[in-house]
Amino acid sequence: MQVTFGINGTYQSPAFYEPPALKITTRIRQGSFGKSTGLRLARCVFLLITGAAIFCAQPGCDSKKPKPNLTPQGSAATDQGSAATNQDDAATEMRAAIAAQDWQSASKYSQAVLITHATDPDLITDVARVEAMLGRKRPAAQLLVDAASVDNYQDVARTEFAMRALIEVGELYKAIELLEKTLEVHPENNQLRRILTGFLGEAERNDRIEPHLKKLITNRNFDVAFLAAMTETWSRRFSTKTTDTMLERNPEDRRVRLGEASELFHQRNYAETAKVLEDILAHHTGFAPAHAMLGQVLVQQGRTDELDAWVRRTPEGSREFADYWITLGDIAAERGVLDSSARAYWEATQRDPNHSTAWNRLKGSLRQLRDSDNEFRSRISEAQITDVDERIEQLLELRKQFYGFAGSDRKSQRFATQVAATLLQLGRTWEAEAWSAIATTLTEDPTADLTSLRQRIVNQLRRDDSWLSRRGRPALAMDLSDLPMPSADRVATVKSRQAVVPVLSTSDHLRLIDASDQWGIGSVGSGNNPTDARLAFLIRSTGVGGGIIDFERDGHPDVVVMGAGGTMLESDSQPNELLRNVDSRFAKVTSAAGVGDRGFGQGVGVGDFNEDGFADLFFANLGQNRLLRNNGDGTFTDCSEMMNDADARRWTTCGVFVDINADGVTDLLTTNYCQPVAELEAICPTQEGLQAPCERHPLKFPADDDQFFAATGDGQFRDASSSWIGNVSPGRGLGIVAGWLDGLEQGVFIANDMTANAFYSRRDNADDQTPLIESAAARGLAVDARTMTQASMGIASSDFDGDGDLDFYVTGFAREYNIFYEQVSPGLWVDRTNRLGLIPPTLSVVGFGTEAIDMDNDGVEEIAVTNGHIGDFREPDSVPLEQPFQIFRRAQSGGFTLVQDDSWG
């Protein structure tokens, strides 16, 4: 197939797209308004200059075909009816005044012309010109719309003229309506349809884009920028500048703020999102998209007591939006009505089959429903849940590959091909064909998979040319319409389960003091960071870790702390430190114990890999990792050669000892960050002429795979990664926890930075070749409640709610939030952060280490979090380098509150 590219949009960045019609520049459009008139835009020029609409009329600019419409609103013309005694005289006199550029005189005839020539588009256009030259731009724009309407939208140039006039006065929605009506008459006009899709994107009306996207793709009218703006719309791809411009020109139409609200929502700034949406609804009470989005904002803010009123205020049309149904599902789920929550989430997937949050919530609801005693439990099968899991994973994969393509400056053929392949899996075959066609034009990062992929796509279109193919995709064919709809009566009668709460309602009894010097650890780790935090390379941004080990089995916990500060891949860093707990003080025994490795340290794993009863050590380095065996006499022996990985140079951040394949012998799992390419330490000058790292963003560097070292039974390990887990997308691991996490079998949970988290466990009926499966998405641990990946780092694990199973608390970056994953069914976790009041306190900090700890010995554990930025960037919108330590304690309501520690000093 041949690709025909249409008009070009201005692609500002991987995230933002500005449609061509909204560029505020000077334009001179040539063409005729009427097929039988002499009025041409070559002489009557419409200029867009810094927001001012100017109609320039010159002598000889004459038109004989009159136009339709209403009397211009706001006109100051007086006594128009007496200006002429017949319709011909009124038109003649008005045009004479226009030719003389006597706009006030021309205005006296406007009303008479509109009344007597209500079906003449050219004369209506003349009246619009008069209104514009007198500074009355809004009635002028409306007259141009009326002219296009009277002409039955036959003249496309007339529509374009009116469209630009509407944009000049901030009437985005009227411009959209005008284009939609014109396209009914001119369905093959790709240029107008491209502009319309841009307008709809600016307005955040993705619900109305699909038919136009379908038409443009089937008409072969697309380019890279267009596909990048229209394919993966989970987060906003359009600039917010247009919203400001439209609102400045037309403060009365607040609907244009929907895009602003969407961006704030995806930035997790829920308080500001709510303000914007409430402002929109105060001016447009029946604006369904804003109402639907507000429901989700209320859920994320934990304002559940306002949801009943939100339901009662539901305007007409809200049922067409996925967010409306998701909110109904959330209400039902909050109150324990699992069948109705499943029905509502399923309804959301019917409104938007690509809404990852809807599918994610549906998966959780189906799993809980099947594991419950609900009368509909038998209605749900494991196969259905698996089908939903598969679609979630595909939607997350699409987002990942799309971001990879955007990160390549939209030049990678490999990423474009992977986007196309994922779209094909999702049943979005026409979009897959478009992306594969684009991929053929790209030369960087080539892939041999493209040719066979295009053939598969063509074969699929021959079998099924529907826009969304449901063949072989059982999740799309699932029918849950027999489940009961959400009902206020039903949900109001069911109470949600309450968590265990402390006896003491306040935290006044808690008090911590700084005892670092008393315990002899005040200077530990002081040489690990550069003296100037502004020069923090990405390799220094992760900091170093430590661990607790009773290495001599005296019953007292000792501490091991990693060292860094040197050169990556080399052994010139600060030595690791082993601190023995002796008489209420830690004493350094590093040299005596033989643990002072000088690699670029990251994290430590503690476990008994040779099962002799003494805890051994694994040192994760940015370079060569180390395995140390505890000799049982207070010393360690370097047994790194037993890993059979001596030549490896990886950026390993942590590791864990666990018998993951259930063969009775302890294995070693390690998680890696970015691949250690030379550019990680590249130096570039700043705008101030200072030396600084060239790039700090981890997505600029390739992620690395997790590694699985299988114990062979003879004291050795072998790297079994490729055979044990197969083809799994690499992450950027920073945290790891292993054990009987779901209460059923051994598992490993890994917190990844800016990529989906991972969960590894033994595959059902596994053979020796492929014993493990990655299932974080299916278990609800891959992403947050809105299916967004976060910069996940530390993991705290405990039965926080006292229901007998293990929950997780995962730290993240500023402007995200630390996630509380509650295990609601064996092996299924749900993001409950908003319900527990834990979102707002963590939006302004960068969380690293975290621990579950019962600080007051009341049987209810607190959550401790260490915070701090990765560097001192000193930019206006950057959070500070130094940030407070936080402790969260259960409140009587069942949520968590931040312990106020100002009085501690």
Q: What is the pLDDT of residues 131-170, one digit of tens each?
A: 999 999 999 999 999 999 999 999 999 999 999 999 999 9
Lowest mean pLDDT, pick from 238-247, 403-412, 843-852: 238-247
pLDDT tens profile 32-54:
223 333 222 222 322 232 233 33
pLDDT tens profile 325-339:
999 999 999 888 999
Cβ atoms of 712 and 718 closer than 8 Å: yes
Task: Check whether 846 has a pLDDT greater than 60.
Answer: yes
pLDDT interval class at 718 (50, 70, 90): very high
Greatest Cα pair distance in the chain: 116
Q: What is the dihedral of CA 120, 121, 122, 126, to 10 degrees?
A: 100
Task: State the residue for tokens 């960071």.
Answer: 529
Residues above pLDDT 70, as percent of the chain = 86
Task: Give me the amino acid identity at 320.
Answer: E
What whole-number distance in Å separates Cα of residue 749 and Cα of residue 737?
A: 5
Q: Which two tokens stand for residue 666?
A: 């302890």
Chain centroid to Cα 133, Å, comes to: 46
Any idea how long the chain is?
905
What are the helix (H) ranges across 233-355?
241-249, 258-266, 270-283, 288-301, 307-312, 322-334, 338-351
User: Which pTM was predicted?
Assistant: 0.84
pLDDT tens profile 381-419:
999 999 999 999 999 999 999 988 988 889 999 999 999
Q: What is the pLDDT of residue 694?
A: 64
Q: What is the pLDDT of residue 534?
A: 57
Mean pLDDT of 690-714: 82
Q: What is the mean pLDDT of the chain?
A: 86
Task: State the residue for tokens 């699929």.
Answer: 460
Q: Which two tokens stand for residue 14?
A: 């991987």
Q: What is the pLDDT of residue 494?
A: 41
Cβ atoms of 746 and 662 closer than 8 Å: yes
pLDDT tens profile 719-773:
999 888 877 888 999 999 999 999 999 999 999 998 999 999 988 765 656 788 9
Cα–Cα distance list, 697 to 416, 675, 754, 874 (Å): 22, 13, 10, 17
Task: Give me the amino acid identity at 96.
Answer: A
Task: Check whether 276 has a pLDDT greater than 80.
Answer: yes
Q: Which two tokens stand for residue 646?
A: 């001596």
Q: Order of strands across the sheet with 828-831?
A: 795-798, 807-810, 819-825, 828-831
Nearest to 401 by CA among 416, 388, 382, 386: 416
Task: State the residue for tokens 């995962």.
Answer: 810
Q: What is the pLDDT of residue 62?
A: 39
What whole-number distance in Å separates Cα of residue 792 and Cα of residue 615?
A: 28
What whole-number distance in Å separates Cα of residue 737 and Cα of residue 472?
A: 37
Task: Check whether 663 has a pLDDT greater than 50.
Answer: yes
Q: Which two tokens stand for residue 162?
A: 């009116």
Cβ atoms of 562 and 545 closer than 8 Å: yes
538 or 158: which leads in pLDDT: 158
Task: Check whether 74 has a pLDDT greater than 50.
Answer: no
479 or 60: which leads in pLDDT: 479
How do strand 819-825 and strand 807-810 relate by DSSP bridges?
Answer: antiparallel
pLDDT interval class at 904 (50, 70, 90): confident
Task: Give me the amino acid identity at 321.
Answer: F
Nearest to 428 by CA among 450, 402, 448, 398: 398
pLDDT interval class at 678 (50, 70, 90): confident
What whole-number distance in Å separates Cα of residue 497 and Cα of residue 835?
A: 12
379 or 31: which leads in pLDDT: 379
Residue 773 DSSP label: E
pLDDT tens profile 91-111:
999 999 999 999 999 999 999
Q: Which residues of 161-193 are buried (b: 16+ CB within 10 A; e: fewer)?
A: bbbbbbbbbbbbbbbbebbbebbeebeebbebb
Q: What is the pLDDT of residue 689?
A: 65
Q: What is the pLDDT of residue 557?
A: 96
Domains observed in the chain = 10-241 (1.25.40.10), 786-905 (no CATH)
What whole-number distance in Å separates Cα of residue 549 and Cα of residue 580?
A: 9
pLDDT tens profile 586-637:
999 999 999 999 999 999 999 999 999 999 999 999 999 999 999 999 999 9
Q: Which two tokens stand for residue 623?
A: 């370079």
Indicate the SS3 state at residue 696: coil
Q: How many CB atoms within 10 Å of residue 743?
A: 12
Cβ atoms of 216 and 190 closer than 8 Å: yes
Helix-then-strand count for the chain, H and E: 28, 30
Task: Check whether 543 has a pLDDT greater than 70.
Answer: yes
Q: What is the pLDDT of residue 52?
A: 34
Q: Which residues of 122-142 are buried (b: 16+ CB within 10 A; e: fewer)?
A: bbbbbbbbbbbbbebbbbbbb
Q: What is the pLDDT of residue 681?
A: 74
Partners of 621 in the beta sheet? 601
Q: What is the dihedral of CA 824, 826, 829, 834, to 10 degrees?
A: 10
Which helix (DSSP H) or strand (DSSP E) does residue 623 occupy?
strand 616-623
Residue 476 DSSP label: H
Residues 6+ apart with CB under 8 A from 433: 1, 217, 420, 454, 457, 458, 461
Residue 486 DSSP label: P
Cβ atoms of 149 and 119 closer than 8 Å: no
Task: Give me the amino acid identity at 393.
Answer: E
pLDDT interval class at 77 (50, 70, 90): very low
What whole-number distance in Å separates Cα of residue 562 and Cα of residue 543?
A: 9
Q: Order of strands across the sheet with 546-549?
A: 546-549, 558-561, 577-581, 586-588
Mean pLDDT of 232-250: 85
